[in-house]
Structure 1
Amino acid sequence: MMFEYFPDNYPWSMAAVMAINSGAVLSEVDEALKPLKDIAGANDDAANEAWHKRWMMLGERSERLANEDDAAGRRISASAKYKRAAAYFMTAERMCKSDDPVRIETYKQMLDVFRKGVEREEGPVEWVEVPYKDTSLPALFYRADPGTVSGDGQPPCIIHFDGLDVMKEFLYLAGVARAYAARGISTLLIDHPGVGEALRLRDLKLFPETEVPAGAAVDYLEGRNDVDSDRIGMAGISLGGYYVPRAAGFEHRLKCAIAWGAINDYGKITRGRLEGTGTKLSVSHWEEHMNWVFGTNSAEEILEVVDRMNLAEAVPNIECPLLVVHGEGDR
């Protein structure tokens, strides 16, 4: 079960938990959110503007303190505060409408402090570009801990896709890559079309054939000399539960697939949500967000896309092991 800070606003409650999972301080979260209790149920434009302001307050304060630490040469302390600021800016941005200029401004602030925080860690991470069609996809490559790699060869690597509304920086801050690295596995955290930087700064829209960006990621990893190209797998969270099995059904170079959330028919799920009878919404302006992600202009156009997002064709073609993980109380 998920803790719901706002019993009358599921998207806000989910975002608050995500922030805590990515490094927010609980007392600071309470400080920011307590004044919003009375307006949470409305979940209208005014409420979401207030949400943005409260999280920006936390992010700007954490960034200011990080700057002070950085100027004093306190690298480790600065790193922690920059990353915390990234979590706060990320959460502020989450409930903005796509056409609101403040959304991209906030996102760029997040990217800036996130990079500062990670660079000061001096960890095994690289910012990389994965060639894709006539452009590229932004990604983070996190190397496996050398002391945990089995055998004499190079470590395996997991390509990690996002969900509908998260991004590679969230996965990093939540510790996903670090957990794989401790087990001898490198990770490619990638913003594929429809999410993160690929959507916000490159206008790349989501489409059902996820084997296309997955194949581009495999191509990229096969060109690295620090990855075992015969041991490349793929994982995805939330809507990644569709992305990954779909890709595995058609990209047979993948040696394993992990669906962190079971999604067999996204069209059925989306119809229920549009009708108000389905699972809970993950962001406040959900239909508007869906149009942004898919490059559509109406509920009818959204359905035209998501009706193609089912696994009936892909699953019979999967040749690698597939692990499906799903929460009993998932909503």
Structure 2
Amino acid sequence: MTGSPDLSFLDHPDLPAALVEENRPRATGAGLDPHEYTRVTSALRSAQEWPEAFRAAGRRHRAAADRAAAEGRSVSAGEAYWRAARWFHFAGLLPHPDRAAAGATATEADEAMRAALAHLEPTAERIEGESFAGWLRRPAGPGPAPLVIVVPGMDSGKEEFHAVAEALLARGTAVLALDGPGQGVLAGAAAPEPDYHRVVGRAIDAVTGREGVDTGRIGVTGLSLGGYYAAVTAAREPRIRAAAVVSGPYRLDWDALVPFVTATLTQRCGSADAARAFARRVDLTALAPEITVPLLVVEGGEDRIPGVTNAEALAHRAPRGELLHVPHGNHLLGNALADWLPATADWLTTELTRPTETRTA
């Protein structure tokens, strides 16, 4: 079988409106201006126009950033590059047939994030290795600081979860925001990796010994499919001390998944057969009891994706699992940030700063 899924669903006349509304909380939760989001999406006549509309918005912000940088307005330049990075990232959400353009847009997002950090946070370090690329950021104040690795999901990347990184940094935790196989700037370079703990392990190796980071106190948080990756990592990577899973799947049922998901996985895995095999691996039934570190599972009561079993069962089956349920939260809880993000950042920080001898067995 080929890596070209059936994308005819993208031409359904009702899809643009549904796509816009489904992604509105995710986009605004990630930091896109809600009014600009409305302006950009209101002109869409077809879902096929989504990538170029969002790419154009990203380029407008990048042009504003370039002008500010040329005039020596460094803060304004950095902020505009951040906005550009987010818009470029969201341009790549669809399983659009033009994968070359999608790869170029992911590179634009990556480069805009690099420029933003150069202006706003020049101490940030690019960390790269086999099948991963990311940014290591340190909090203000004396170190070394505990580290949280932020793992994106199926169609996401390190540019999306800026609010998560900022919440952790504000609480004195260093952050490594990753793109792994099949994600972000690496979406076209490698297929998604079910054994994501190997990716995180290589990333930990890469940051070990770097100034200001305490690699004896490492946590991981993952969002959407990244939640599954975080759970696997918590079970299999011995250097992890705590984990938070946000809107993560407990298991996937390929035959019940919506076309958007199956098409995305097919593209990123390389074929429908490979995507089906990947989906079969996404099952925490046997692994949940092996997660012995503190585990927080964050669930939205309105998060209902066909074919996806939410991870609430993980909180009950993991020996040290806790559940934070937000009844009105949707997938990724972008419509309820205040109801979970501060508490989750506090929880991770507390677990990673708790003296080792006071940890419960």
TM-score by length of 2: 0.73
Correspondence for 1:162 among 140, 152, 162: 152
- Give the Cα–Cα distance (whole angstroms) in 1 for the partners of residues 50 and 268 of structure 2: 22
Correspondence for 1:327 among 300, 305, 311: 300
Tell me if the contact between 1:15 and 1:91 (Cα under 8 Å) persists in the aligned partners: no
Residue 193 (structure 1) aligns with = 181
Correspondence for 1:178 among 144, 166, 183: 166
Residue 15 (structure 1) aligns with = 23
> Where do residues 259-278 of structure 1 align in structure 2 (5 Å cutoff)?
259-266=245-252, 268=253, 270-274=254-258
Structure-2 change in CA distance of 1:262 and 1:85 (3 Å): closer
Residue 34 (structure 2) aligns with = 26
- Give the Cα–Cα distance (whole angstroms) in 1 for the partners of residues 215 and 293 of structure 2: 15
Correspondence for 2:264 among 289, 312, 317: 289
SS at match of 2:175: strand
Structure-2 change in CA distance of 1:211 and 1:8 (3 Å): same
Which region of structure 1 is more displaced relative to structure 2, 67-76 or 230-239? 67-76
**Unmatched tracts of structure 1, length 5 or more:** 1-5, 40-46, 148-152, 275-280
- Give the Cα–Cα distance (whole angstroms) in 1 for the partners of residues 277 and 55 of structure 2: 36
Which region of structure 1 is more displaced relative to structure 2, 219-228 or 249-258? 219-228
SS at match of 2:106: helix
- Give the Cα–Cα distance (whole angstroms) in 1 for the partners of residues 174 and 26 of structure 2: 23
Paired residues in the alignment total 291
Amino acid corresponding to residue 322 of structure 1 in structure 2: L
Work out whether 1:302 is the aligned partner of 2:275: yes
- Give the Cα–Cα distance (whole angstroms) in 1 for the partners of residues 102 and 277 of structure 2: 27
Residue 65 (structure 1) aligns with = 64
Residue 3 (structure 1) aligns with = none
**Unmatched tracts of structure 2, length 5 or more:** 1-13, 305-361
Structure-2 change in CA distance of 1:242 and 1:10 (3 Å): farther
Tell me if the contact between 2:27 and 2:90 (Cα under 8 Å) persists in the aligned partners: yes
- How far is 1:156 from its partner? 0.8
- Give the Cα–Cα distance (whole angstroms) in 1 for the partners of residues 55 and 16 of structure 2: 22
- Give the Cα–Cα distance (whole angstroms) in 1 for the partners of residues 248 and 91 of structure 2: 28
> Where do residues 105-144 of structure 1 align in structure 2 (5 Å cutoff)?
105-122=104-121, 124-129=123-128, 131=129, 135-144=130-139
- How far is 1:77 from its partner? 1.5
Tell me if the contact between 2:103 and 2:185 (Cα under 8 Å) persists in the aligned partners: no
- Give the Cα–Cα distance (whole angstroms) in 2 for the partners of residues 177 and 123 of structure 1: 16
SS at match of 2:200: helix
Work out whether 1:56 is the aligned partner of 2:51: no
SS at match of 2:204: helix
- How far is 1:186 from its partner? 0.7
Tell me if the contact between 1:7 and 1:13 (Cα under 8 Å) persists in the aligned partners: no
- Give the Cα–Cα distance (whole angstroms) in 1 for the partners of residues 261 and 289 of structure 2: 32
Residue 323 (structure 2) aligns with = none
Tell me if the contact between 1:98 and 1:289 (Cα under 8 Å) persists in the aligned partners: no
Residue 86 (structure 2) aligns with = 87
Over the aligned positions, Cα root-mean-square deviation in angstroms equals 2.3
Structure-2 change in CA distance of 1:88 and 1:78 (3 Å): same
Tell me if the contact between 1:250 and 1:314 (Cα under 8 Å) persists in the aligned partners: no
Work out whether 1:242 is the aligned partner of 2:228: yes
- How far is 1:84 from its partner? 1.4
Structure-2 change in CA distance of 1:19 and 1:118 (3 Å): farther
Q: Per-residue displacement from partner, 1:86-122 (whole Å, max 9, x unpaired)?
A: 2222222222525432212222222222222221113
Residue 146 (structure 1) aligns with = 141
Work out whether 1:312 is the aligned partner of 2:302: no
Residue 278 (structure 1) aligns with = none
Amino acid corresponding to residue 262 of structure 2 in structure 1: E
- How far is 1:124 from its partner? 4.1
Structure-2 change in CA distance of 1:56 and 1:213 (3 Å): closer
Tell me if the contact between 2:148 and 2:175 (Cα under 8 Å) persists in the aligned partners: yes
- How far is 1:136 from its partner? 4.8
Amino acid corresponding to residue 290 of structure 1 in structure 2: L
TM-score by length of 1: 0.80
Tell me if the contact between 2:127 and 2:207 (Cα under 8 Å) persists in the aligned partners: no
